Structure 1
């Protein structure tokens, strides 16, 4: 089978798994809307994901790279969903938290506008992919601090309560798909962060296999605390934007 066809199939499957991950917080935000409160929920992981999606969306545009419609489509969808989540958060968050998230969102938007302006004004067409791709890799790699903290928490507590299996396995296979896509496209900027995602995903699944029995001894949280527990799960497991 032609490499272009294989790459396209991998990209489509990667888009599907990425979309599943982007949609996974919807239940939490539905509870926020019903309760009209954000509880202990933190929106910072969603601010970071929005930043990553916007940067990869820019990277996939024809003015930067060619034939990256799948990168554009999934990160465009991700940017839209993360924006919706943040708007919901801003509607129901306490005034102090609302101000913090508003400043963070304003900051990442200003950063993205700066990257776009610098790229177009300072770099010729053939050098733009190197600059934007390097920024994407740096930001994406920095965002791996989140799963590393989750893994440390699992080892410390000997429980996988804050590392849901479904999200971990989806992250792992998503990283494999996009690493393969990047390899066939010979795009090191896609390979590097997703290759790292493969390693971390495998490590998370290994931890899950080792510590999953630890959850059995912990009771089911009461219904009144469902939002807070779900919020903690999202805070501790939310990673960089899947898809790139």
Structure 2
């Protein structure tokens, strides 16, 4: 498990080495820093968890390595990001990796104790990890929902395409022709 964690932290090296031309041009071009910023926060939370939990030294050690690796990636982004994105990336790092982490540490230290503190830190780490790993699916969700709604619409059309109008429908149509469509649906209380 720990070897997989180390490989997870080192996996972006392939991206950087394949795109060495970007580093030679001193530009990150179309790469986003958000995944690295969030992974740095996640490693920091899990290191804090490992330090706080009795017997959690292994968790703290491997995620401490993750902090180092992710910090290198974030620094590379801050060095090579185009000037118009440098401020945005710096603010993102400040809010997420400094602000949120500091707030999490201060709140859990002041407001929680013992197993409750450890559980809260673990919950934050797990929640962030789920978001990080699930984020690629965000592109698929709107398409999936659209597919389901479109399919439902086709089924409804197939069911009701040959339906005959009822006498009640023609009565409603007659009222609408007489101007009743402008009547309020809910009458005011007097």
Which residue is 1:135 aligned to?
A: 124
Name 2:4's counterpart in structure 1.
17
C-alpha spacing 1:17/1:138, structure 2 compared with 1 (3 Å): closer
Residues 200-211 of structure 1 aligned to structure 2 (within 5 Å): none
Instruction: Single out whichever of 51-60 and 137-146 deviates more from structure 2.
Output: 137-146
The Cα of 1:33 is off from its aligned counterpart by: 2.5
Q: 2:76 aligns with which of 78, 84, 88?
A: 88
Contact 1:33 1:88 in 2 (8 A): no
Unaligned runs of 5+ in 1: 1-13, 157-244
Larger relative contact order, structure 1 or 2 (CA cutoff 8 Å, min sep 6):
1
Match in the other structure for 2:167: none
Separation in structure 1 between the aligned mates of residue 124 and residue 27 of structure 2, nearest angstrom? 35
Question: Equivalent residues in 2 for 1:155-170 (5 A)?
Answer: none
**CA separation in 1, counterparts of 2:133 and 2:8?**
16
Q: Distance in 2 between matches of 1:21 and 1:137?
A: 16
Q: 1:39 maps to which residue?
A: 29
Cα distance in 2 for residues equivalent to 1:115 and 1:95: 31
Match of 1:126, SS state, is helix
Comparing 128-137 with 47-56, which one deviates more in the overlay?
A: 128-137
Instruction: Give the paired residue count.
Output: 139
Does 2:38 match 1:76?
A: no
TM-score (structure 2 length as normaliser): 0.66
Residues 59, 129 of structure 1: 8 Å contact kept: yes
TM-score of the pair, normalised by structure 1: 0.52
1:127 CA drift (Å): 2.2
Displacement after TM superposition at 1:35 (Å):
2.7
User: What CA RMSD, in Å, does the superposition of the two structures yield over aligned residues?
Assistant: 2.1
Q: 1:121 pairs with 110, 115, 137, which one?
A: 110
Separation in structure 1 between the aligned mates of residue 70 and residue 116 of structure 2, nearest angstrom: 30
Distance (Å, rounded) in 2 between the aligned partners of 1:55 and 1:134: 10
Larger radius of gyration: 2
Corresponding residue for 1:110? 99
- Please report how far the alpha carbon of residue 140 of structure 1 lies from its aligned counterpart in structure 2 after TM superposition: 2.1
| Aligned counterparts of 2:119 and 2:5: Cα–Cα separation in 1 | 24
Contact 2:29/2:82 (8 A) holds in 1: no
1:55 to 14, 36, 45: 45
